Chains A and B, each alone.
Chain A
């Protein structure tokens, strides 16, 4: 069938199976050119098999949960939305969460996702105790930081290229409520935004929305949003009545594909200006539900349709701290000059990365934004990838759809080790995505 990632670019033909148990998984993985696919929220071609795509949706059982330690054992197809729905009312929240809850645990591990607390708490790897990985020979390897360490390291961030993640044990964090104490700090330009991040290192969560079309002195103007889990004592009566903020808000959905002309530099500039000024005017500090703080876009089902049926590409890089200011300014300049803005560009300060394995994060700044998949924007993204390489940065594989193999291998010396690991275990043709083929992994 025709399948694509969340960006709906590229669209490829692949056989699809949806196994119902481990035996079915083993059979499915015995086919050459197979990759696992969870909720399909990887943007590009990371979860599209070269021959066959194995959808893990039916392997979503909870295996155990310890109410005293917050340790959850579950099958890899369980979604983060379900984790929150089941365990937040008992006082537990994911220790690390990406910007959507419509992801599977397997996908979160494969991408080694990071959240707004990366600067303090690290990436997904920091809360994974062990992973069961199925390899094409039918073996299930239980790997952890102590056992089969290399497999563990390459599975976190390895984009499913070490085998199929069957189940995992993860640690949740204790929270007193489902409310987030949010503080919004306007920043007039990128340097300002950096200063806000640097002095907010103690905050649990921080992220900035950045206006990538502003120019000159206001290049990179941002709204930095800081957040803390609100303790019960900080809740007002309204919040108290809904302590874990589980009341479901009505979701809107995008009914049809927007025509391509709907998004242009004028409409995006107008939106960005409005957003910045509204954001600057709202009360600097307020309590917001977890759902709107962490997952604002989840409230609009099918938001990927606003980019039209030809889809979009997402660009996300991280630059080392020393190069961040110069590098991000260069990226913003290139974007602003191209006049190709996206509604929600996101900037975040990252903490230490892990050098073992292949995971994305490194200490510095990460910038993420999306563009309609037009020929000129594809060229722009290639240019941004090059600028990232020039400044010693990395590209996030969960977003990438266009990077070239040579660019990737030059950018990240660790890629050779992953390639060797896969060759040594005879995985390179058997467990393969369109992305791994493109990146020659």
Chain B
């Protein structure tokens, strides 16, 4: 049962944790990277006792450029798979008027994750294999008044992943883009979301696991989102600009 390890960037999040459990269940050692990572001690014990795998905690702040650029080199073992679930929704109305707040959202969802993925992609290309999973968002498929600052950064991340996939696919490195839709997490707690469109973190964890196993390119967690986003991206702009979605 000695499988290769899976690194979760943003391991403290609900989706990150669910993904870690899914891979650990199949016997993969887990590395969790997050800010103030010592708060994950209980989660570490839980993962390792439940699934009988080794679990390592790594400190990582996506807004710390020096840390991000030195991160791959700092790892004792280069993982087989990297899953990036780092994301920060912020407060849209604050992001509209407060440039530093908007910048934090943009950097947390695009710049930081994209640069991390770039470092890992280069290391995987050098090694000759590996899988990279980027959790982006359906919010990046079309900008909407209610969350376009977050959405635009996710759009950038989605485009980055698509380009990266195109670049490294010939070098035996696989890139997955995940568009989860609404997920029942800390980020959406208290929001009134339609149950039919709401996935559980474990659904996303399963989707990511399957996407890596089956080498899928772009996955939605719930199939219905493919349809929802098809409709949303095809509404003519002169109508779309008047809607409040």
Contacts and interface: CB of A to CB of B under 8 A. Distances in A.
Contacts of B43: 61
A65 interface: yes
Interface of A: prevailing SS: mixed
A65 B50 CA distance: 8
A63 B49 CA distance: 8
Contacts of B189: 18
Interface string A44-79: 000000000000000001111100000000000000
Contacts of A63: 42, 45-46, 49
A327 B150 CA distance: 66
Nearest to A22: B42
Interface of B: prevailing SS: helix
Q: Which of B42, B43, B49, B51 has the most CB of A within 10 A?
A: B49
Nearest to A73: B49
Contact of A64 (B49, B51, B186): B49
B186 to A, nearest CB: 8
Nearest to B14: A58
A64 B43 CA distance: 12
Contact of A86 (B42, B45, B51, B186): B51
Interface in B5-47: 42-43, 45-46
Q: How large is the interface on A (under 10, 10 to 19, 20 to 34, 35 or more residues)?
A: under 10
Contact of B45 (A20, A64, A82): A64
Contacts of A86: 50-51
A63 B186 CA distance: 23
A40 to B, nearest CB: 15
A61 B42 contact: yes
B45 A61 contact: yes
A401 to B, nearest CB: 25
Nearest to B25: A85
Q: Which of A20, A64, A65, A86 has the most CB of B within 10 A?
A: A86
Contacts of B46: 61-63
Contacts of B42: 61, 63
Contacts of B186: 20
B53 to A, nearest CB: 12
B227 to A, nearest CB: 19
A302 to B, nearest CB: 12
A64 B49 CA distance: 7
Q: Which of B50, B186, B189 has the most CB of A within 10 A?
A: B50
Interface in B38-97: 42-43, 45-46, 49-51
Contacts of A65: 49
Q: Which of A18, A61, A63 has the most CB of B within 10 A?
A: A61
Contacts of A20: 186
A64 B46 CA distance: 8
A395 B211 CA distance: 50
Nearest to B49: A62
Contacts of A61: 42-43, 45-46
A18 B189 CA distance: 9
B20 to A, nearest CB: 13
A64 B50 CA distance: 9
Nearest to B48: A62
Nearest to B41: A61
Contacts of B45: 61-64
Contacts of A62: 45-46, 49-50
Contacts of B49: 62-65
A18 B185 CA distance: 11
Contacts of A82: 50
A86 B47 CA distance: 11
Nearest to B42: A61
A18 B50 CA distance: 23
A377 to B, nearest CB: 29
Nearest to B186: A20
Contacts of A18: 189
Contacts of B50: 62, 82, 86
A63 B48 CA distance: 10
Q: Which of B42, B43, B45, B51 has the most CB of A within 10 A?
A: B42
A63 B50 CA distance: 9
A215 B45 CA distance: 56
A20 B186 CA distance: 10
A224 B45 CA distance: 43
B23 to A, nearest CB: 15
B17 to A, nearest CB: 10
Interface string B174-193: 00000000000010010000
A52 B197 CA distance: 27
Nearest to A18: B189
B145 to A, nearest CB: 28
A312 to B, nearest CB: 22
Nearest to B43: A61
Nearest to A89: B52
Interface in B160-210: 186, 189
A61 B49 CA distance: 10
A14 to B, nearest CB: 15
A18 B46 CA distance: 19
A151 B188 CA distance: 38
A44 B186 CA distance: 29
A18 B14 CA distance: 13
A359 B189 CA distance: 36
A82 B186 CA distance: 22
B11 to A, nearest CB: 15
A82 B18 CA distance: 13
Nearest 8 pairs of A and B residues by beta carbon:
A61-B46, A62-B49, A86-B50, A62-B46, A61-B42, A65-B49, A62-B50, A64-B49
Interface of A: 18, 20, 61-65, 82, 86
17 contacts: A18-B189, A20-B186, A61-B42, A61-B43, A61-B45, A61-B46, A62-B45, A62-B46, A62-B49, A62-B50, A63-B42, A63-B45, A63-B46, A63-B49, A64-B45, A82-B50, A86-B51
Interface of B: 42-43, 45-46, 49-51, 186, 189
Given A61-B43, A65-B49, A86-B50, 17 more contacts: A18-B189, A20-B186, A61-B42, A61-B45, A61-B46, A62-B45, A62-B46, A62-B49, A62-B50, A63-B42, A63-B45, A63-B46, A63-B49, A64-B45, A64-B49, A82-B50, A86-B51
